[in-house]
C-alpha cells in the first residue's frame, strides 16, 4: 500500500513538460508598448525563461485598445524587429513572431471590416472582452470577423466571470459560432483567483480549449507557471486537441 501510494504520489508531483505545447501564442514581450515588458532586458530575460521551459517559438500579442494602447501594425512590427535583432545578436534559440490582442471596443469592428488586423498562423485573430461587463453585440463582431475570413480566438475565456453562470452552454455556443477558445495556463495555477481556476478546470474537463497561452507580462508569470506544473490539471492538457503546435 505504502509502495503504491509512493508511486502514485511521485507521478502526481512530476511537473508537466511544457515543451509539448511548443508554441506560445499569447504574451506581452515587446518593450514599452503596453503593460508587458518595460525594457529590452526584461524581454530577453523572459525569452530565456521560455527556452528553459521548453518552448521553441513565441507569438507575442501586444494590447490594442483605442483608449490606452493605440498600437498600430507598424508600431508592433518595428518593436518585433528590435526584439528579433537582439535575439539574433545573443543567439537565443527561440523563434519570435507578433500579432496582437484586440480589445473589443466600438472601434474594433471598423478595423475588422478594413482588414487591418494582425493575425497569426492560419488567419487567427486574438481578441479579448472587458473583465467587468459582458460585451454588447458581440455576435456582430464575431460575424464581421468570420465574414472577413478571420478566425477569431477569444483570449482567456475563463476570466470573464459574467459567463460563468452559463457554464458549458455559453462556451459551446461561442464555439458553434466559429470562435476558438484560448485559456491562460496561469488560470490553472490559481493566479487569477479561485473562480477563474474553476472555470479553467471546467474548460479542460469538457475539452473546450483550442489554444493555451502564458499571457506573460513579466517574469513572475513564468516563475509562477513553472512552480505550478505539478498540478493535476496541467497533466490533463494532454487530453486536449490543442492547436498551439500546429500554427
Q: Considering the complex, what minimum distance in angstroms separates the CB of residue 107 from Fe ion?
A: 18
**Residue appearing with cell numbers 508598448:** 33
Which residues fall within 8 angstroms of residue 131, CB to CB, at 6 or more apart?
A: 159, 160, 161
State the minimum distance, in angstroms, from the CB of residue 101 to Fe ion: 5
Cβ 156 to Fe ion, closest distance in Å? 7
Quick one: which segment of 77-85, 158-166, 175-183, 213-221 binds Fe ion (CB under 5 A)? 213-221
CA gap 201, 185 in Å, rounded: 11
Q: Which residue, 111 or 235, has its beta carbon nearer to Fe ion? A: 111
Kind of pairing between the strands at 124-128 and 95-98: unpaired
Task: Note whether 146 and 176 are within 8 A (CB).
Answer: no
* 15 burial level (CB within 10 Å; 0-12, 13-18, 19+): middle
Residue 114 gets the label, from left (phi > 0), alpha (psi -120 to 50) or beta, of alpha
Cβ contact 104:135 at 8 Å: yes
Residue nearest Fe ion, Cβ-based = 215
Segment 63 to 102, residues that bind Fe ion, using CB under 5 A: 101
Binding part of the chain for Fe ion, among 16-24, 136-144, 215-223, 234-242 by CB under 5 A, reads 215-223
107 closest CA partner among 75, 132, 141: 141
Minimum distance from residue 212 beta carbon to Fe ion (Å)? 13
SS3 226: helix
Of the candidates 224, 214, 238, the one whose C-alpha atom is nearest the C-alpha of residue 55 is: 214
Residue among 223 and 239 whose Cβ is closer to Fe ion: 223
Q: Toward Fe ion, which CB reaches closer, 24 or 215?
A: 215
State which of positions 101-160 bind Fe ion (CB under 5 A).
101
> Between 102 and 150, whose beta carbon lies closer to Fe ion?
102
First to last CA, the chain: 45
Residue count, binding to Fe ion (CB under 5 A): 2
Q: Which member of 24, 201, 210, 215 binds Fe ion (CB under 5 A)? A: 215
Least distance from C-beta 2 to Fe ion, angstroms? 45
Q: Minimum Å distance from CB 61 to Fe ion?
A: 6
Binding of residue 210 to Fe ion (CB under 5 A): no
Q: Which stretch binds Fe ion (CB under 5 A): 49-57, 171-179, 183-191, 209-217?
A: 209-217
Q: Which is nearer to Fe ion, 186 or 201 (CB)?
A: 186
Which residues contribute to the site for Fe ion (CB under 5 A)? Answer: 101, 215
Amino acid at each position: 500500500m505504502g509502495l503504491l501510494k509512493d508511486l502514485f504520489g511521485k507521478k502526481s508531483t512530476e511537473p508537466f513538460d511544457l515543451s509539448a505545447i511548443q508554441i506560445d501564442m499569447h504574451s506581452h514581450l515587446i518593450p514599452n508598448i503596453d503593460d508587458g515588458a518595460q525594457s529590452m532586458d526584461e524581454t530577453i530575460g523572459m525569452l530565456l525563461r521560455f527556452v528553459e521551459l521548453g518552448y521553441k517559438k513565441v507569438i507575442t500579442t501586444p494590447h490594442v485598445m483605442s483608449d490606452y494602447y493605440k498600437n498600430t501594425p507598424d508600431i508592433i512590427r518595428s518593436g518585433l524587429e528590435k526584439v528579433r535583432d537582439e535575439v539574433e545578436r545573443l543567439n537565443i534559440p527561440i523563434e519570435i513572431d507578433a500579432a496582437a490582442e484586440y480589445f473589443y471596443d466600438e472601434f474594433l469592428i471598423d478595423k475588422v471590416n478594413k482588414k487591418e488586423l494582425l493575425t497569426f498562423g492560419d488567419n487567427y485573430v486574438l481578441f479579448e472582452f472587458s473583465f467587468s461587463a459582458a460585451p454588447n453585440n458581440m455576435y456582430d463582431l464575431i460575424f464581421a470577423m468570420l465574414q472577413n475570413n478571420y478566425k477569431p480566438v477569444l483570449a482567456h475565456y475563463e476570466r470573464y466571470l459574467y459567463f460563468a453562470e452559463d457554464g458549458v452552454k455559453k462556451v459551446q455556443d461561442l464555439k458553434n459560432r466559429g470562435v476558438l477558445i484560448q485559456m491562460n495556463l496561469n488560470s490553472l495555477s490559481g493566479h487569477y483567483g479561485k473562480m477563474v481556476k474553476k472555470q479553467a478546470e471546467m474548460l479542460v474537463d469538457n475539452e473546450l480549449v483550442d489554444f493555451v497561452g502564458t499571457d506573460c507580462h513579466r517574469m513572475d508569470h513564468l516563475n509562477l507557471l513553472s512552480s505550478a506544473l505539478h498540478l493535476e490539471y496541467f497533466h490533463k492538457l494532454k487530453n486536449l486537441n490543442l492547436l498551439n503546435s500546429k500554427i
